[in-house]
Amino acid sequence: MTSQQTGPGTTAPLRSSAWFTDEGKNGFIARSHLAAVGVEGARLRRGPVVGICTSWSELTPCNKHLGGLAAAVRSGVEQADGVALEFPTMSIGEPFARPSSMLFRNLMAMDVEESLRSNPLDAVVLLGGCDKTVPAQLMGAASVDLPAILLTGGPMLSGRWRGDTVGSGTDVWRAVEAYRTGQLARNDLDELEGCLNRSIGHCMTMGTASTMACLTEAMGIQLPGSAALPAADGRRAQLATSVGRRIVEMARNGGPRPSEVLTRSAFLNAIRVNAAIGGSTNAVLHLLAIAGRLGVPLELDDFARAPADVPLLVDLEPSGRFLMEDFAYAGGLPAVLTELRGLLDLDARTVEGGRLADRCGVHRTEDPEVIRSLADQIQPAGCGTVVLRGTLAPDGALIKVSAASPQLLHHVGPALVFDRLEDYLDVVDDPDLPVTEDTVLVMRNAGPKGYPGMPEVANLPLPRRLLQEGTTDMVRVCDGRMSGTAFGTVVLHVAPEAAVGGPLALVRDGDPVKLDATAGILDLMVSDAELERRRASWRAPPPIADRGWLRLYIDHVLQADRGVDLDVLVGGSGHEVPRRPF
Ligand code: FES
């Protein structure tokens, strides 16, 4: 028998009371086991109980410090007279997870969802940072819809090398290309390796981790200032304590819940902010997947329409010059929101219980070189992530215009096609590789099902001979992804992918490929009759796996234009307390 508690100051029935106020065997067992770790039964009966869902792992170096943040969140929860229970979930380390970190985002999201749903929690604080950990946590939390606040771990301090700042990923690509052409010696590269990641935190360019941190702050599911403050800055622990206090209020009030914060307005705001910050193309997949969990109607064309009037304002690598530490000191996302306030839906709700309007105007840019005004924009509207469609990508593709070469944005060139990344890497240094700077490098079978897991290979390294001749960029087309820290004229996320018989599977060497980023066109300039002939002889590749997660993933994963979630995970399971058999 259970007597439902609301606890002092509580306006909503507490979910945890289904476990802790039970007067029979089940309540005894639940309270007794927590007594073993020092939580008193009377305290549990009163609630609320807040989960601290951490993706701490030494296999995810970007998240290694989350234990310290969890302690600060716990302190805040206890200051507000709540009970904090910290628990780990799967984590995904971008530098290590093979064959592709994206293969595991949905698996981690399942872990988060089932951990929240099956346990005595009234609300949750999500601690993430590295690329996939944040969307995975939000996808899982969205499906359960408990009151939730996200707190990202913060970016690393800027890398420093020989008097220059160096940024995650972006400067790695540059240095490795310089090493391949003999402009950088091995010992120089080794020294840079030790200087780049010089503090705790996630990558400090505007890669996927920083992008998702900024977009989730813009969507109101993080507290203001959370995205940019460096991980090593002591104020982040203060922020974590504030998160702990606030989540107890949310648990007592029964909200706001993710479904009340992450509305269509919030997603459209995020898409606009993504254009202003020069954010990662990976954000498109993650936003689509999170929206799918909440039943929010969001489609690829929203990413074409929503940012149509939003210019690039933030001058960060890979599109620009500065790093997240500079961005933080320039005012971070609150300053961007202030600048963009005329272009956002300010009625969108936030986890503080207010509206986005409350966050705008509080901070202005402290450094107009890093965060520009609308009157002094870096690039005009339409230069962010652009959606392409055409005979080569009937269901869409993306190009990040701000990271591309302007002279290649309108281009027709002959395709040189590779079915496997390994095939390309075998010949990339061959001086006889039949390429010119006009060639369009086509890399296929790197999509959600094809690789599987949609690896970040779309920004193929350039052929060594062309690099030595001075070529700095080429058009590349791929059904895979590109690191948020990468740059180049790269068309990615081509859908449908080659492995399911999309037109990319039918391209042959020499076929003309047309890219028109302004008009949003990606065409394979081959007649319909010829493509039909080719399709008649196309055969689907054999399944890559016959068991385990890989098998489930391949059987159920959706295409890029649907966010690469599993079809069986779209939607939510809800926060209703699961029944026990007795
Ligand atoms: Fe973790 Fe870049 S490797 S954010």
64 with 210, same domain: the answer is: yes
- pLDDT (tens digit per residue) in 101-132: 999 999 999 999 999 999 999 999 999 999 99
- Nearest residue CA, atom 2 of ligand 1? 203
Q: State the closest ligand 1 atom to the C-alpha of 62, by its place in the atom list counted from 1.
A: 1
Report the alpha-carbon distance of residue 164 to residue 575 in Å, rounded: 50
User: Ligand 1 in contact with 236 (CB < 6 A)?
Assistant: no
pLDDT value at position 6? Answer: 59
Report the alpha-carbon distance of residue 18 to residue 165 in Å, rounded: 54
Report yes or no: 144 and 572 within 8 Å, Cβ to Cβ: yes
Number of other residues whose CB lies within 10 A of the CB of residue 397: 28
52 with 174, same domain: the answer is: no
User: Ligand 1 in contact with 95 (CB < 6 A)?
Assistant: yes
User: Ligand 1 in contact with 131 (CB < 6 A)?
Assistant: yes
Mutate to test the pocket of ligand 1, among 202, 210, 212, 324 (most ligand atoms within 8 A of CB): 202
Whether 148 is in a domain gets the answer yes
Return the SS3 of 249: helix
Q: DSSP letter at 541?
A: P
Ligand 1 centroid vs 209 CA: distance in angstroms?
6
- Nearest residue CA, atom 1 of ligand 1? 130
Report the alpha-carbon distance of residue 511 to residue 262 in Å, rounded: 43
Q: State the closest ligand 1 atom to the C-alpha of 168, by its place in the atom list counted from 1.
A: 2
Summarize the confidence of residues 313-328 as an average pLDDT: 95
Higher pLDDT, 318 or 151: 151
Q: State the closest ligand 1 atom to the C-alpha of 169, by its place in the atom list counted from 1.
A: 2
Report the alpha-carbon distance of residue 428 to residue 444 in Å, rounded: 16
Summarize the confidence of residues 279-296 as an average pLDDT: 97
**Which CATH number covers residue 428?**
3.50.30.80
- pLDDT (tens digit per residue) in 149-182: 999 999 999 999 999 999 998 888 889 889 988 9
Overall domain count for the chain: 3
Q: State the closest ligand 1 atom to the C-alpha of 131, by its place in the atom list counted from 1.
A: 4
Report the alpha-carbon distance of residue 574 to residue 557 in Å, rounded: 22
User: Ligand 1 in contact with 166 (CB < 6 A)?
Assistant: no
pLDDT value at position 11? Answer: 63
Summarize the confidence of residues 473-496 as an average pLDDT: 94
Banded pLDDT at 491 (limits 50, 70, 90): very high
For a pLDDT cut of 90, what percent of the chain falls above it? 90
**Which CATH number covers residue 272?**
3.40.50.2300
- Nearest residue CA, atom 3 of ligand 1? 94
Distance between the two ends of the chain, CA-based, in angstroms? 11
Report the alpha-carbon distance of residue 118 to residue 18 in Å, rounded: 12
pLDDT value at position 2? Answer: 47
pLDDT value at position 257? Answer: 98
User: The whole model's pTM is what?
Assistant: 0.96
Mutate to test the pocket of ligand 1, among 57, 101, 131, 485 (most ligand atoms within 8 A of CB): 131
Report yes or no: 214 and 324 within 8 Å, Cβ to Cβ: no
Banded pLDDT at 305 (limits 50, 70, 90): very high
Range of the domain at 127: 48-157+199-359
Return the SS3 of 233: coil
- pLDDT (tens digit per residue) in 29-78: 999 999 998 999 999 999 999 999 999 999 999 999 999 999 999 999 99
Q: Taking the alpha carbons of 363, 335, 360, 224 in that order, is the dihedral positive or negative?
A: negative
422 with 298, same domain: the answer is: no
Q: Is the pLDDT of residue 429 over 90?
A: yes
Banded pLDDT at 5 (limits 50, 70, 90): low
Q: Is the pLDDT of residue 8 over 70?
A: no
Q: Is the pLDDT of residue 563 over 60?
A: yes
**Vertex 411, ends 410 and 415: CA angle to 5°?**
150
- pLDDT (tens digit per residue) in 522-537: 999 999 999 999 999 9
Whether 238 is in a domain gets the answer yes
186 with 126, same domain: the answer is: no
Number of other residues whose CB lies within 10 A of the CB of residue 437: 16
User: Ligand 1 in contact with 94 (CB < 6 A)?
Assistant: yes
- pLDDT (tens digit per residue) in 213-258: 999 999 999 999 999 999 999 999 999 999 999 999 999 999 999 9
Q: Among residues 429, 430, 428, which one has the least CA distance to residue 443?
A: 428
Q: DSSP letter at 68?
A: H
Q: Any alpha helices (H) in 36-155, and if so which ranges?
A: 41-46, 66-79, 105-118, 133-144
Q: Is the pLDDT of residue 582 over 80?
A: no
315 with 439, same domain: the answer is: no
Summarize the confidence of residues 503-512 as an average pLDDT: 98
Banded pLDDT at 298 (limits 50, 70, 90): very high
Whether 244 is in a domain gets the answer yes
Instruction: Report CA-CA distances (Å) from 502 to 299, 499, 515.
Output: 19, 7, 17
Summarize the confidence of residues 411-417 as an average pLDDT: 98
Higher pLDDT, 511 or 1: 511
